[in-house]
Each structure stands twice: as C-alpha cells, then as structure tokens.
Amino acid sequence: MSSQTATPGQERQRSRQACVPCRQRKRKCDGKLPCSTCTGYGYICDFKEVAQQNPLKRRSDSEGSSPQAAKAPRVSSEPHDSPAVPPTQQHGVLEPSKQRYVGRQSSVAFPLFVGLDVQAKNPPRLHSFAYNAGIRREPGYTVKFQMVEYIPWDIAKSLIDVYISTIHPVFKFLDEGQLYQQGEEHWHGQPQGCNFEAVLSGVIALGSLFKGALGQEREMRVVRHAKDILEDYHVGRAPSIEQVSAWILRTIYVRATSRPHVSWLCSCTMMHLVEATGLQHEPEAMILPPTKATLDSTEGRPDTVKRIAQVAECLHVLIAYDYGRSLMNISIHSQEPVRLSISDADFTPQLCQLVQAMPVGNASRGSVVEPQQLVLALERVTSIHVDHDFLLLVRTDLAFCLYRRLRIMDFRFQQEQLDQVIGVGVDALGAAHRLSDRNEPWWNILGTVFQFVCVLLAMDTPASLVKLPESMTVLETITDRLNTHLATEALVTARQLIRASMDKKRKGLTCLERALGEDSTEAATNNVAYAAPPIDGIFNPFSQPPQSPLLDLDSLLDMEFMH
C-alpha cells in the first residue's frame, strides 16, 4: 500500500491501518511495511495483529498522536513490542559522542528505554547510572611523555614512509594522506589528541623495526609510549576507532617481536575494542540515542570502518589459529572483503580471503571438527592466489595449521592433500628468501621455513623428504642473515629432528638386516664414524652420535619452541 502526496484542494490521504508499534504509541502510520515512523525511530514494524482488531479501533489508533511522540529519538522499541523477533536480530545502541556500542539488553541502555516507554520529555542519556557506589574519584590522564619532543619530524616522516611502503600494502586500514597531514600538524603546534599519538607511535615503531633507524632502546621507548596511552584509565573510558587502529599496530609489533601468549592477549584486547565500538555491525543495524554529537573522523566512510574491523579479525585469527587458542567468533568473518577505490597496491583483500577460508568457529577445538571440513578448507587455502611474499608465508602457515589438526585426528591423508601442503611450503621457501634479502623481518620469515622442515619430517614420504635439503638450505641462509638467538635455536632444533629421523631409519634397517641374517657390524661402524660438518659461528651438537633413546617425532612436531 502506498500513500499519496497531498496537493492544494485535495484532502490528505490517511492510512487504512496502522502497524503495531504505531498503534501502541498512538503515532501516525502511513501503512507501508516498514512504515516511515518505524523507519525513522528504529522500531520493528509489524502488522500481524491488525487483522484481529476492530476496524474502527484500528482507525482510531492509527490517527492518534502525542506531542512527546513527535520528539521521540531514533531508538528501537523493547522486545515485548515484537516478541516474534529472534534475539540475534535485535539491534544494539551506538553512542556517537563516545563511539560506544552496547547491547540493547544491557543495564546501561535500560534507563533510556524505560524513559521512552513512559514518554518522558527528556529520557535519560545512555549512561552507566549507579554502576558502582562512587566512593572513589576516577583518575585523570597520566601520560606525560611527548613524542614530538623525542623524535624530530623528519625522522618520524621517514619512518612513516617505511611503514607505508612495507606493512601498509598488506594491512591497509589507515588513510595514508590523512596520516601524513595529521602527523605534520601534530608536530607543528596543532596536537591531534592522545589517540592519534598512539596510532602514530605504532606506525613509527613498526617503521623502525623494518628499517632499524631508531635503534632498539629508542624504538622500545616509542612502543611503551603507545602502550601507556592505550592502557591509560582515562583513555580507556571512551573507546574509539582510532584506539582500534592503534591496537592493530601494537598487535602487529608484538607478534613480530614477542611471545605467542602476549600476542594472543593483544589480539583479544583489539577484538574487544572492535566490539566496544560496534565496528562488526553494519551502520543500519545500530540505533542512535538522542544526541547532538557526531561520529569520529571515520563518519561517512563505511568502507574504511569495515576495513579496520576486517584487518583486526584477520590478525586475530592468524595468531589464535597458529597458537591453538580460542577465537572471538563475530560476524565479520562472513563479510565480503572490502575493496577500496585506490590506485596503489592493496593486498588486504587477499589476506581476508585466506583467513575467511578457515573454519574459525572451531579453530581452537580441532578434535571436534569434521575432517572433511578441514580438508575442504585446506583445498580452499592452497588454491587462493596471492601476490605478496608475506601472504605466501601466511597461506603456508594456514595450510600447516590445518595439516596439524588433521594429523592429530589420525586422518588418512591422500597424496593429493600432502602435495597441496608441500606445494605451498615450497612456494614459501622462495618468499622467505626474498623477504630476507630485502631485510623485511616479518614474523613468519623464520617460523614458516622451520615448520616446513617439521612437516616434511612428519610426512616421512619420498616426496616430502626430497624437499628437506632445499628447506634446510633456506633455513641456514635466513639464520646467517638474522644472526639471532631464535634463528640459531630453530636451526639447531631442525638438525636434531633430522638426526633423530636418520637414527630411527638406521635402527629399522639394522633390524631388517638381522632378519636376513646379514652382518650389520660394518653399517653400525659407519654410523658411529659419521660426523656432521661444523657450522661457521654456530656450535654443532652433532659431532658425536646421540646416545639418547629414540625421539618421538609426533610429540616434537606439536611442541611450542618459543620461550
């Protein structure tokens, strides 16, 4: 049913019937589904009870209105207005002035809805009324460090350049033009706020990590500054989209420099802020309470906001899946990757495609996932084309995650599935070598190659073992270039596993020779006489044959070697 526009000399057209929310609140209804009133105020439009009422009563209800109703804010009705609507479809409330998102069932939102139900002239604002006893005042902003006094603008700008050229193409969620503009204003007497300083500190720290311009001590001071801002009590009171961006940068840095548990904790905090700011929801799915404030700097750019949420989820899934920790399973995973209308390189949609191929709902409980789901995911992941060396490593990491879960389930691998894993592993060798040559210390430049060695040993097939020499050569090259404790530790451990595999096969061969009645003394003597060649600058623990019992490769494959 459609309403007609009134013209001079014509009588105004009225709706023949009103929807349930309009009748209950005695508001005008145009009879459409949804009607303009429900659309404007966020009500759930429904005509299902109209047919059961008296036509005269329907007309009386549909024509009624009150002055307070005309001033009602755009807030959805309570669930009892439309009991047939499932809870999963109920909208939350977004407070634009604080960029704070709360569920409509929360205690914070309830006074507002009560005020609307009783048609209060000034309904309560969205506020945590009586949340505690209030016997202590809340602390103010405590961060005293000033970035502009610590690093000159020319150095800061050069590190932003490094970030934009290396990390930004893969995790593209910042507006580079705005970043440069705000940064210059921030350094020249126009402060852009503590949230922006946290974002810029993260950018500068990552630029220094990839270029080494600041040195470790100054770089760590910048990292601590961003952490101090993000964990400050006063800043944490008002979540913002800029804080989500700053936590993404911090999570990337921590993943590249720290331990698995710390990385996972950072990613969880990042995802909680995504939820707190409502980034996982479409704009039309949120209710706005009465306010004169506007959204932050991302208002009017829904693609940018959605991209921030998708990048955060990708980072969280990568860390949680690799470490075997639980995931925050939110609605972002099923959304189409955002493709921004930009001319320069943008590999973020490819990253999203890789992550979205993973069954995130059960990522931390591989034992209860159907093997066929993991097999299909493995096929999807290995078939996705990517154009960046880091994403080649990410694709391999995800394939290894699926392989490990299938292996724990005692899955009978077909040669096709093993070839898929080996294929992406070989691609990763070249990518890791190229990243090493460019001095780009992505977090998986070492770990993916090491894990590939472990996977090849675990497969223990002619097709896998033939790839071991090449894999070890790349691992040795990267170790020499990095010259770090973790690189040396990985190389030594890989050689230990290969040595254990050799000893296991030799013992099996000895048993076979004895079964044939052949003398194995000469073979045993040759085994003892064998000594691995020394490694320049690295202690070689294999100069003598190991005296320990046979190692269990299955348990070693699943060990966490990060200390």
- Residue 529 confidence (pLDDT): 43
- Residue 552 confidence (pLDDT): 52
* DSSP string for residues in 280-298: TS-GGGEE--S-S----TT
Does the pTM exceed 0.85? no
d(C-alpha 298, C-alpha 176), whole Å: 14
- Residues 189-229 have pLDDT tens digits of 999 999 999 999 999 999 999 998 899 999 999 999 999 99
- Residue 349 confidence (pLDDT): 94
Q: For residue 1, what are the CA distances in angstroms to 9, 11, 30, 303, 369?
A: 23, 18, 9, 35, 49
Both structure tokens of 231:
């964990």
Torsion angle of C-alpha atoms 381, 383, 387, 392, degrees rounded to 10: 50
Among the listed ranges 24-28, 376-380, 409-413, which one has the minimum average pLDDT value? Answer: 24-28
d(C-alpha 421, C-alpha 424), whole Å: 6
Among the listed ranges 16-30, 152-166, 182-196, 231-245, which one has the minimum average pLDDT value? Answer: 16-30
Output helix, strand, coil percentages for the chain, rounded to the nearest 5. Answer: 60, 0, 40
Residue 377 has pLDDT above 90, yes or no: yes
pLDDT-derived band at 54 (thresholds 50, 70, 90) equals very low
Q: Which residue, 257, 226, 221, 264, is CA-closest to 243?
A: 226
Q: Which residue has the higher pLDDT, 414 or 299?
A: 414
Structural contact between residues 17 and 31, judged by C-beta atoms closer than 8 angstroms = yes
- Residues 533-552 have pLDDT tens digits of 444 444 444 444 444 444 45
- Residues 257-310 have pLDDT tens digits of 999 999 999 999 999 999 888 887 766 566 666 654 444 444 445 678 889 999
d(C-alpha 267, C-alpha 533), whole Å: 43
In the sheet where 92-95 sits, what is the strand order?
100-103, 92-95, 286-287
Both structure tokens of 49:
């009870």
Residue 9 has pLDDT above 70, yes or no: no
d(C-alpha 448, C-alpha 456), whole Å: 12
* DSSP string for residues in 172-193: --S-HHHHHHHHHHHHTT----
Structural contact between residues 211 and 441, judged by C-beta atoms closer than 8 angstroms = no
